[in-house]
Amino acid sequence: MDLHLTNKLAVVTGASKGIGLAVVRTLLDEGAVVAAVSRRPSPELTELTGTRLFHVAADLSTVDGPARAIEEAVQHLGGLDIVINNAGGPPPGATLPRFSFEQLTDADWRSMIDFNLFGVVRAVRAALPHLLSRGGGAIVNVSSTHAHVPSAVNVDYGAAKAGVNNLTQALSEEYGPRGIRVNTVSPGPVRTPWWTEPGGAAEVLAAATGTDRETVLNTSAAEMMQLTTGRLIDPQEIADQIVLLASPRSGSTTGSDVIVDAGLVKTV
């Protein structure tokens, strides 16, 4: 299916690994021109060389990082049609999962909300004039099933992502009549470096449950979270949904939250 993305101008944040890297690859495959935003380029991102890919170095956890990233991206691209706000998760210096509200200080809350909610607010604020100048476009914000399933585990992350969902709905109402569609994708547990890298979630859970990292990744994480599919989600499965929402093929989809969760959320 042709997604009609040839020569569309896209910004992807959190683009160096995991879901963001998969989104960059997919957009390039569909013919888009992409500005990939991350603190630094990963080897995997660097391998995606070509005239339709630019890297923008930025720290989106800072106050001015998102706006500077958008402006530099637009300088490279010459305009803007698509914004994928994927950057999120643990802010610099934080390790997840955290198992109790009582573990969290005010500083923990501020850094989590700054990165996961205000990062989106600031990026959208900077992107809107460029999208409007081209007659509209698409914004896809990456949220989480934590926004739907409140838990003592990572409570600050869930609260921040619930804010992203609310923001997305509000933006879709205000800017839909002006040609900008805004949607979220809420992934469940995705097998990204957040899980797999040293000191990541798999090792933290392994230590907490008395097992090993590979068992967590291959079986016990899915069992603990009662994933219907029996496995963690592949980043490409999330990227496919994000890119479809960014495509003109989804022209009547706005204000929606698409859950891609391996069956984690079991409510109607």
Give residue-wise pLDDT tens across range 150-182: 989 899 999 999 999 999 999 999 999 999 999
Give residue-wise pLDDT tens across range 208-221: 899 999 999 999 99
Query: Which regions of the chain does DSSP assign to beta strands (E)?
Result: 9-13, 33-38, 53-57, 82-85, 137-142, 180-187, 257-260
Structural domains of the chain ordered from first start: 9-189+236-259 (3.40.50.720), 191-232 (no CATH)
Give residue-wise pLDDT tens across range 236-252: 999 999 999 999 999 99
Please report, to the nearest 10 degrees, the dihedral formed by the alpha carbons of residues 58, 60, 62, 63 taken in order. 110
Give residue-wise pLDDT tens across range 10-62: 999 999 999 999 999 999 999 999 999 999 999 999 999 899 999 999 999 99
Cα–Cα dist 241/185, whole Å: 8
Active site residue 157: yes
C-alpha 148, offset from chain centre: 16
What are φ and ψ of residue 63, in 5° steps? -65, -45
Q: Which value, in Å, is the radius of gyration of the alpha carbons in the chain?
A: 18
19 contacts 193 by C-beta, under 8 angstroms: no
Q: How many CA atoms lie within 13 A of 185 on its CB side?
A: 28
Among the listed residues 16, 17, 157, 227, the single catalytic one is 157
